[in-house]
Amino acid sequence: MNIVGVKKLKTVVDKAIADVEITDVHTHLYASCFGDMLLWGVDELLTYHYLVAEVFRWVDIPYQQFWEMSKREQADLIWKVLFLENSPYSEACRGVLTVLNGLGLDVGSRDLSAYRRYFSEKTMEEYMDQVFELSRVKEVVMTNDPFDDNERKVWLESYKADPRFIAALRIDPLLNTWDQVWMKLKDWGYHVEEDLNGTTLEEIRRFLREWADRMQAVYMAVSLPPTFAFPENSSRAVIIEECVLPVCREFNIPLAMMIGAKKRVNPGLELAGDSLGKSSIETVEYMCANYPYNKFMVTMLSRENQHELSVVARKFRNLMIFGCWWFLNNPSLIDEMTRMRFELLGVSVIPQHSDARVLDQLIYKWAHSRRIIADVLFDKYKDLLEIGWKLEENEIRRDIEKLFSQNFWDFVKKKL
């Protein structure tokens, strides 16, 4: 028995967290066959939409003027304003520096040209291997949208599997803008009308089956507004009930609902212009209770939804909550949410995903989260040791493997 005493506990937990190979259950990364859809390098890091929102706190140029700049010019402006004229301690700015430091670059030099030279000497493929190695991420789940013309072309003509990149079928356009996309399905050969009649519903199910199969999708996903309601007299609710949930059951895959994103509150900021709102936990309760043979992965965007979501997860074994999503992916909130979840759910949760849009971000998003989750876990284990519980090192490693990978795969495979 390799019993861990309080003195050794921190070392054992930190080492186990450092060693665990992560399944990143939600990202916007792409395997190399998707070409330029995969973003990487220092200029992409600097123009990540989180930093775009922050730079506009300081600059008064028209939004359009910024969007007409080259990527390099945008990065130059962001570097000047957010890193040189102001200290870069926001999480998005700090993340850029964590990546550069992780790559062995001298962050103290503030030499953006040197950083650019470093990346200019890399190919995407070799850099991809380096990032997966440095971040100790085993595999990432992509966000795969068949309504994206560039992405659809790759799936239909040139897709090349890479085991590090797993597919998830993203269906926002189908659920949130049916009135605008039904004609696309019709163009693609599905016998649909705007009216959700029997034939249309069967053809939407065929569309979902064909893409879930083509992608070997491990779940279907959708981002939903704070106003999301179910049941509801809407095309979204009809398609969820008649098409999405039945096909998810057929494929035995979860539906991942990401609830609370308020789109384009400031359209001038484009992707950086989204905000959030508190959503209805009753909707999550209703779906878990009334569809016991469906599996739901849920993450909610509002801090105010987190406690009730953790409680609802205690009620339904077909619900797996995941990640500190988007505006919650900050140290203070990751700490608060992780403590709440570990206290209410024990090991049965997926504490984090990266949501990385730029490959390099795997380095910082996971370095930052590993630190915080390790500190919370240490506290929880210490509480146990202080009341006489005996902990073995392999039990600590078992728990951590579940939190960072196995809980996800067990839930995806779970038969209800």
- Residues near Zn ion, by CB under 5 A: 355
Residue that has been written with the tokens 């988007």 in this structure: 326
Q: Among Zn ion, ligand HDL, none, what binds residue 271 when CB lies within 5 to 8 Å by partner kind?
A: ligand HDL
Q: Contact between 258 and ligand HDL (CB under 6 A)?
A: yes
Whole-angstrom Cα distance, residue 208 to residue 206? 5
Whole-angstrom Cα distance, residue 239 to residue 256? 15
Q: Contact between 368 and ligand HDL (CB under 6 A)?
A: no
User: How many of the other CB atoms lie within 10 Å of CB of 358?
Assistant: 26
Q: Among Zn ion, ligand HDL, none, what binds residue 402 when CB lies within 5 to 8 Å by partner kind?
A: none
Q: Among Zn ion, ligand HDL, none, what binds residue 3 when CB lies within 5 to 8 Å by partner kind?
A: none
Selected binder of ligand HDL within 44, 54, 336, 355 (CB under 6 A): 355
Note whether 221 and 185 are within 8 A (CB).
no
Whole-angstrom Cα distance, residue 205 to residue 199? 10
Task: Sketch the per residue contact string, 133 through 172, with ligand HDL: x for CB under 6 A, - otherwise.
Answer: ----------x-----------------------------
Q: Which is nearer to Zn ion, 16 or 298 (CB)?
A: 298
Half-sphere exposure of residue 38: CA atoms within 13 angstroms, side-chain side = 20
Q: Among ligand HDL, Zn ion, none, what binds residue 223 when CB lies within 5 to 8 Å by partner kind?
A: ligand HDL
Which of 189, 190, 208, 187 is closest to 199 using CA atoms?
A: 190
Q: Among Zn ion, ligand HDL, none, what binds residue 353 when CB lies within 5 to 8 Å by partner kind?
A: none
Packing angle, helices 361-386 and 393-401, rounded to 10 = 140
Q: Contact between 369 and ligand HDL (CB under 6 A)?
A: no
Q: Which is nearer to ligand HDL, 223 or 348 (CB)?
A: 223
Residues 216-245 that bind ligand HDL (CB under 6 A): 223
Q: Which is nearer to ligand HDL, 43 or 355 (CB)?
A: 355
Size of the site for ligand HDL (CB under 6 A): 10
Task: Sketch the per residue contact string, 27 through 66, with ligand HDL: x for CB under 6 A, - otherwise.
Answer: -x--------------------------------------
Tell how far CA 161 is from the center of its chain. 20
Q: How far is the CB of 26 from Zn ion (least distance, A)?
A: 6
Selected binder of ligand HDL within 295, 341, 353, 357 (CB under 6 A): 357
Selected binder of ligand HDL within 307, 326, 333, 340 (CB under 6 A): 326
Q: How far is the CB of 298 from ligand HDL (least distance, A)?
A: 13
For ligand HDL, the binding residues (CB under 6 A) are 28, 143, 223, 258, 261, 271, 274, 326, 355, 357
